[in-house]
């Protein structure tokens, strides 16, 4: 197998900045409570005319520009989202059309907040079979459209954004291994009940708030602490490395307090943990991609660094990837 890695990254967040004071009142809390419980100061909301595909296109353009690659060169285009523009057509096809990536085979992926890492794993496998190919993985979510402003468990956390990574052959290093896991028995922890084939959208569904995003925060925390540390340890050791060898940790930006606990429990206090949640909040599947792009564009990732990505989300799902970073040449 040829070495497959990340060639370029991109990201986009909407212009509207939403502060703790903006969401605190309807949720029945204070801005101080939000910051203490989540460490989130601001988040971004999409403009009324913006849908998930619009955010995805902007992130994709950044990644392609960084790589100096035209959209026509893409062989695969994967969009991870749990907030598609509509049930059909796939959001990836709208992105393809907007970019002019007419050679790309496209599909959507919904693994909620783990979707970006799952998308990278799929892109790696596809490019390994076609080493001259380029695959663009985009993660984008617009959660502001499905939030109950009175629900303090969710509205204080979530925002909108998109991130992208261009996957292709690299001279050496790149992805060392990936770890994907699904825990369907915990599917009730994160959910949007209404809007599907079991519970189609009706006036009654909307009146009852079944179209909103809901989350059992304590249950999610317990899932993360019970499953993520062991998964990342097994992944790292499977590649012949130790946790102490990891230079950079790029986790899902779920909640600042949870992240601090996770870093310590996972034995990654020594690594540079990249965080964007203080200013962007939890952006769903886009969060790892946003944090990775910030780290890359900030000059923190150097050739040869060991980078660990870890995501977790609804399903419940878990995805982790370890790669030896290869600087652009």
Contact 318, 174 (CB under 8 A): no
Q: Is residue 304 reached through a cis peptide bond, with omega within 30 degrees of 0 on the bond before it?
A: no
CA dist 199 and 187 (Å) reads 16
Which residue among the candidates 252, 255, 274, 296 is catalytic per the annotation?
252
* Helix pair angle (115-129, 286-297), 10° resolution: 70
Q: Is 252 a catalytic residue?
A: yes
CA dist 185 and 187 (Å) reads 6
Q: Is 113 a catalytic residue?
A: yes
Contact 292, 9 (CB under 8 A): yes
Q: Is 49 a catalytic residue?
A: no
Contact 56, 71 (CB under 8 A): no
CA dist 269 and 249 (Å) reads 9
Sheet strands (E) in 52-147: 76-80, 105-109, 135-142
Other CB atoms within a 10 A radius of the CB of residue 187 amount to 13
Return left, alpha or beta for 281; rule: phi > 0 is left, psi -120 to 50 is alpha, else beta: left
Which residue among the candidates 106, 113, 211, 248 is catalytic per the annotation?
113
Contact 137, 164 (CB under 8 A): yes
Contact 159, 18 (CB under 8 A): yes
For 186-218, the DSSP string reads GGGGEE--SSSSSS---HHHHHTTTTS-EE-HH
CA dist 250 and 141 (Å) reads 18
The residues annotated as belonging to the active site are 113, 252, 282
């Amino acid at each position: 197998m040829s070495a497959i890695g990340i060639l370029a990254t991109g990201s986009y967040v909407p212009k509207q900045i939403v502060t703790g004071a903006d969401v605190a009142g309807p949720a029945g809390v204070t801005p101080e409570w939000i910051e203490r419980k989540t460490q989130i100061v601001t988040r971004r909301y999409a403009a009324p005319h913006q849908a998930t595909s619009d955010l995805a296109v902007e992130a994709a353009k950044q990644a392609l520009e960084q790589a100096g690659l035209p959209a026509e060169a893409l062989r695969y285009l994967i969009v991870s989202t749990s907030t598609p523009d509509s049930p059909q057509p796939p959001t990836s096809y709208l992105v393809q059309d907007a970019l002019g990536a007419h050679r790309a085979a496209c599909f959507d992926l919904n693994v909620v907040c783990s979707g970006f890492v799952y998308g990278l794993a799929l892109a790696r496998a596809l490019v390994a079979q076609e080493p001259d190919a380029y695959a663009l993985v985009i993660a984008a979510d617009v959660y502001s459209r499905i939030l109950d402003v009175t629900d303090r468990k969710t509205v204080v956390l979530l925002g909108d954004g998109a991130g992208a990574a261009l996957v292709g052959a690299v001279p050496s290093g790149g992805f060392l291994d990936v770890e994907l896991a699904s825990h369907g028995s915990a599917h009730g922890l994160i959910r949007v009940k209404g809007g599907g084939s079991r519970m189609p959208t009706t006036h009654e569904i909307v009146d009852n708030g079944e179209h909103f995003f809901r989350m059992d925060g304590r249950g999610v925390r317990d899932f993360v602490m019970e499953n993520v540390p062991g998964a990342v340890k097994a992944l790292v050791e499977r590649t012949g490395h130790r946790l102490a060898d990891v230079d950079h940790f790029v986790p899902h930006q779920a909640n600042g307090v949870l992240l601090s606990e996770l870093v310590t429990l996972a034995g990654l206090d020594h690594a540079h943990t990249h965080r964007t949640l203080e200013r962007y909040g939890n952006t769903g599947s886009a969060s790892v991609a946003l944090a990775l792009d910030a780290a890359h564009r900030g000059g923190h990732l150097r050739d040869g660094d060991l980078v660990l990505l870890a995501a977790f989300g609804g399903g419940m799902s878990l995805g982790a990837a370890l790669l030896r970073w290869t600087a652009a040449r």
